[in-house]
Structure 1
Amino acid sequence: MNIRFDGKRALVTGAGRGIGRGIVKKLAECGAECLALSKTPENLESLKNEMPEIQTIMVDLADWTATRHALENVGKIDLLVNNAAIMIMSPFLETAKDDLDKVLDVNFKAVFNISQIVARGMVERGDGGAIVNVSSILSRRAVRNAASYCSSKGAMDSLTQVMANELGSHKIRVNSVHPHLIPSTEMGNSIAVTLPPGAQEYVLTRTPLGRFPDVEDVVNAVVFLLSDKASSINGIALPIEGGYEAN
């Protein structure tokens, strides 16, 4: 399946590393003019050195107003991937308000904020567009010490459904992907090291494919959902977990 995005402009958040970096690079390879957003200058610099054609935006998405200022002159965006996320692990009874606020500011409020900015432009131009929100299987499968993260992804899922419902009439498709644990990423590794001995092996025994997904698995799913090949797909939550939920 040949997917091209020639003439399209794409914005990817959390694009400095991991899944976001993989997505923005793949979109650029497929012909899109890409904007990579991150709060970490070193990550953006290394991305720019690797792929000079990618434009970079440095802003902390936890800051609602700064994000609006950073994107006010960004111009036409046809494709949006809300990928940026943080995780602060702590038991539910010990989770502090400041930590909860930090997680919700990035994982949920920033998605709301950026999607409003981008979708308004799509509606005004009348050309439609596609948005993919990177959620997690933890929005539907609870895990200890991750109350703030699981809740933020659950809120993102609800927002995805509302956006798909309200924006569909404007030819704007909104979907989400739900990856399993990806130990090769920094966040995935931070989760993996907190698991008790044998936990990863046990999870894999319940996963029909017998492996965790990698970054490329998520990238390919996101690129498909953004493309015209998925022109009738709107409001879905796509699991990327090797059949874990089916078992």
Structure 2
Amino acid sequence: MTADFAGKTVIVTGAGKGIGRACAQIMAARGASVIAMARTQGDLDALAADCGAVGIRVDLADNAAARAAMKAAGTADFLVNCAGTNVLESVLDMTEEGYEAVMGINLRAALICAQEFARARVAAGRGGAIVNVTSIAGHRGFEGHMAYAASKAGLEGATRVMAKELGPHGIRVNAVAPTVTMTELAAAAWSEPAKKDPMMVRHPLGRFAEVDDIARTIALLLSDDAPVVTGAVLPIDGGFLAV
């Protein structure tokens, strides 16, 4: 891989597993210094051994802890808001606890991290880039995804506001909306043909996404190869939303 990000620093939330871990690994491989945020110290230790990432253990559901973690991270060049969770509840069965858990991590924590990142960059008088990880669930109605869909659609709306307000400071803000992505949990959840096949047929490319597919696209949006791309929501979905 090329050293596209030599001399740059990136903060990756939710870096312990899945897409976040892949982002940390790819950015490190391309020369960036990586500050990884996750809840589990063991995941951070493994990432440090794997790619030299500096770990910050934090529960982003705690607003004050999220702000403190961002301040501890310092003034980075890039932010990837990848931390996410889901509680499968229907419209009729949604609980306040489930709503708060999902919205707290997927939306509120992402806004706090973006705010602290932007404040530091503006104070330093330098530009930068943010990528927020959303989902095709913010575009299509999936059963049992009430709060999750609301959180991801909300983050896409916030992405456009951030792009508008932070553009004059040289900070680009985009979002990616992945389809089903083959993390360990997803691979198990989508292994049953009765569940997988009806979803797969809606993907013109005939496959779900791998974590590296998402991470490589995020790296592109952070890079100098996308210098005037901001306010965009890019589906990484194998064509799902096109058909």
Regarding TM over 0.5, the answer is: yes
Cα distance in 2, alignment partners of residues 191 and 38 from structure 1? 23
The change in CA–CA distance for 1:176 and 1:24 in structure 2 (over 3 A counts) is: same
| Change over 3 Å in CA distance of 1:32–1:161 after alignment to 2 | same
User: Are positions 1:233 and 2:232 aligned together?
Assistant: no
> What are the Cα deviations for residues 120-162 of structure 1, in whole angstroms up to 9, with x where unaligned?
1111112200000010000011100110111110110110010
Residues 150-169 of structure 1 correspond to what in structure 2 (within 5 A)? 150-169=149-168
Deviation at 1:188, TM superposition (A): 2.5
What does residue 99 of structure 1 align with?
Answer: 98
CA distance 1:190–1:93, change in 2 (3 Å): farther
Task: Give the letter aligned to residue 10 of structure 1.
Answer: V
Instruction: State the distance in 2 between where 1:73 and 1:86 align.
Output: 24
CA contact (8 A) 1:15 1:24 kept: yes
CA shift for structure 1 position 190: 6.4
- How far apart are residue 71 of structure 1 and its match? 2.5
1:211 aligns with 2:207: yes
Match of 1:114 in 2: 113
Structure 2 gap ranges (5+): none
2:186 counterpart residue number: 188
Deviation (angstroms), 1:186: 3.9
Q: CA deviation at 1:218?
A: 0.3
Q: Secondary structure of 1:80's partner?
A: strand
Q: How does 1:22-171 map to 2 (within 5 A)?
A: 22-51=22-51, 53-171=52-170
**Which blocks of at least 5 consecutive residues in structure 1 are unaligned?**
none
Q: Is the 1:208–1:242 contact (alpha carbons within 8 Å) kept by the matching residues of 2?
A: yes
Q: Aligned equivalents of 1:148 and 1:189: distance in 2?
A: 22
2:7 corresponds in structure 1 to 7
Equivalent-residue separation in structure 1 for 2:165 and 2:3 (angstroms):
27
Within the candidate set 198, 202, 221, 2:198 is matched to 202
1:3 deviation in Å? 5.7
Retained in 2: the 8 A contact 1:89–1:146? Answer: yes
User: Which deviations, in whole Å up to 9, do the C-alpha atoms of 1:36-59 show, x marking residues without a partner?
Assistant: 0001112112112222x2100000
Q: Secondary structure at the match of 1:92?
A: coil
Distance in structure 2 (CA, Å) of the matches to 1:62 and 1:7? 31
Alpha-carbon distance change, 154 to 61 in structure 1, aligned in 2, over 3 angstroms: same
Tell me the matched-pair count. Answer: 243
Q: After the TM superposition, which segments of 4 or more aligned residues of structure 1 sit over 6 Å from their partners?
A: none
Q: 1: distance between equivalents of 2:102 and 2:188?
A: 15
Whole-Å separation in 1 of the counterparts to 2:62 and 2:4: 33
2: distance between equivalents of 1:85 and 1:130?
20
- 8 Å Cα contact 1:3/1:227 also seen in 2: no
Deviations 1:151-178 (CA, angstroms, capped at 9, x unpaired): 1101101100100111011110000001
Contact conserved, 2:102 with 2:148, CA < 8 A, in 1? yes
Cα separation, 2, equivalents of 1:45 and 1:3: 24
How large is the Cα RMSD of the aligned pairs? Answer: 1.6
| Identity %, equivalent residues | 39
CA contact (8 A) 2:204 2:238 kept: yes
